[in-house]
Amino acid sequence: MKNIKAIAKKEFLHIIRDRRTLAMIVLMPLVQLLIYGYAISTDIKHLALYVYDEDQKYLSRRLIDTFEQSAYFDIKKRVSSADELYQALDRGKAKAGVLIPPNFTKDLLAGRGPKLQLLIDGTDSNPATVALNTSQAIVTAFMQREGLVPVSVAPIDFRPRLWYNPDLKSSFFMVPGLIGLLLQMLIPMITASAIVREKERGNIEQLIVTPIKPFELILGKIIPYIAIGLLITVTIVVTSGILFHIPVRGNPFTLLVLTFLFIVVCLGIGLLASTLADNQQQATQVIMFFMPPSILLSGFIFPRETMPLFVYYLSYAIPLTYFVKIIRGIILKGLGFAGLWDQILPLVLMAAIVLILSVKRFHKRLA
């Protein structure tokens, strides 16, 4: 026990002395939080809209106002010819354009059913879909408000409601998952470097002749990194609460316990990588190899349900897959252990496998 404490203490000194690693541990989470929280937004709002209004009467103006009032479109310019609008779409200045024909108001009031055209830039399918759906809703709402169509009584009282993230903010979706991504990125790397460093710099030669046991060495070395992982988690949860108003709906204790479990898996990966590598560079490369699949396939950004079946099954082998569900479950849905067993058990299994494997290999390397 005393040996473990002595090693943990020494390891903390290494971390404090190593400015680059320290900067990475402190800055990377914050920078990523800002990038994923602010910059990478999958919310589609404020699409640039060009308007060509040939009518210029009160109903055409009211229609344009309706578009403007929705958060989804911003009226960028009112143009005076159809060609001007087409060019704006060609150049990407406009994402959508409304063409209101002459006599729009008159025909509408006379019940002659005037034509109204909306052109959408379909290059990027996501905003195009949003533009298509919301424009239909906007026009329907306009017609109902102006009393142009009777408000019918539907046979089904259909009331869809959005749970957990009613405003569909992408930061709610991204930031909790980001905690998992950061842990999986940082923890294996710094653990592997820390272990390989002893070998690389020859420190192990001195340690090996002391009465210290391999498990004491491993435990002592990883304790500081568990603390760092938990610290990163707390920092992000608190910061994202302040910046993005993301509430923690579940039990913070549950969050910490399950984050600890995930950190153990990450540490195990780092240990395993360190037994495969001879220097810090190799260790980093081994770990970097697993990064892209973790980001892309874990459901951190893209929903796993839309993946081809083979890739979908492959994503079951990624620890982050389970942790993304766990952390979103706790933070956004307020789930506890009971609701998360499906995710917890695979992680426990993974932790056991990587730890047993790495301790076995570690013994061999020491001898």
C-beta of 21 vs 135, nearer to other proteins: 21
Question: What span, in angstroms and rounded, lies between the C-alpha atoms of 79 and 96?
Answer: 13
Minimum CB separation of residue 285 from other proteins in Å reads: 23
Structure tokens at 226: 């568990």
Question: What span, in angstroms and rounded, lies between the C-alpha atoms of 163 and 173?
Answer: 13
Minimum CB separation of residue 355 from other proteins in Å reads: 24
Question: What span, in angstroms and rounded, lies between the C-alpha atoms of 220 and 8?
Answer: 4
Minimum CB separation of residue 185 from other proteins in Å reads: 24
Minimum CB separation of residue 6 from other proteins in Å reads: 4
Question: What span, in angstroms and rounded, lies between the C-alpha atoms of 335 and 331?
Answer: 8
Q: What angle do CA 29, 30, 33 make, to 5 degrees?
A: 85
C-beta of 1 vs 309, nearer to other proteins: 1
Instruction: Decide: 299 and 321 in contact? Cβ < 8 Å.
Output: yes
Minimum CB separation of residue 212 from other proteins in Å reads: 6
C-beta of 7 vs 100, nearer to other proteins: 7
Minimum CB separation of residue 265 from other proteins in Å reads: 29
C-beta of 20 vs 161, nearer to other proteins: 20
Burial (CB < 10 A; 0-12, 13-18, 19+), residue 296, is middle
DSSP string, 226-247: HHHHHHHHHHHHHHHHHHH---
C-beta of 12 vs 337, nearer to other proteins: 12
Question: What span, in angstroms and rounded, lies between the C-alpha atoms of 297 and 290?
Answer: 11
Q: DSSP E strands: which ranges in the chain?
A: 47-53, 73-78, 96-100, 117-120
Exposure of 279 in the CB half-sphere (CA atoms within 13 A): 2
Burial (CB < 10 A; 0-12, 13-18, 19+), residue 325, is buried
C-beta of 10 vs 62, nearer to other proteins: 10
DSSP string, 13-36: HHHHH-HHHHHHHHHHHHHHHHII
Interacting residues with other proteins (CB under 8 A)? 2-3, 5-7, 9-10, 13-14, 17-18, 201-212, 367
Minimum CB separation of residue 7 from other proteins in Å reads: 8
**How many helices (H) does the chain have, and how many strands (E)?**
15, 4
Q: What angle do CA 228, 327, 185 make, to 5 degrees?
A: 45
C-beta of 139 vs 204, nearer to other proteins: 204
Minimum CB separation of residue 310 from other proteins in Å reads: 45
C-beta of 175 vs 195, nearer to other proteins: 195
Amino acid at 111: G
Minimum CB separation of residue 5 from other proteins in Å reads: 8
Structure tokens at 88: 């704006």
C-beta of 155 vs 211, nearer to other proteins: 211
Minimum CB separation of residue 213 from other proteins in Å reads: 9
C-beta of 13 vs 317, nearer to other proteins: 13
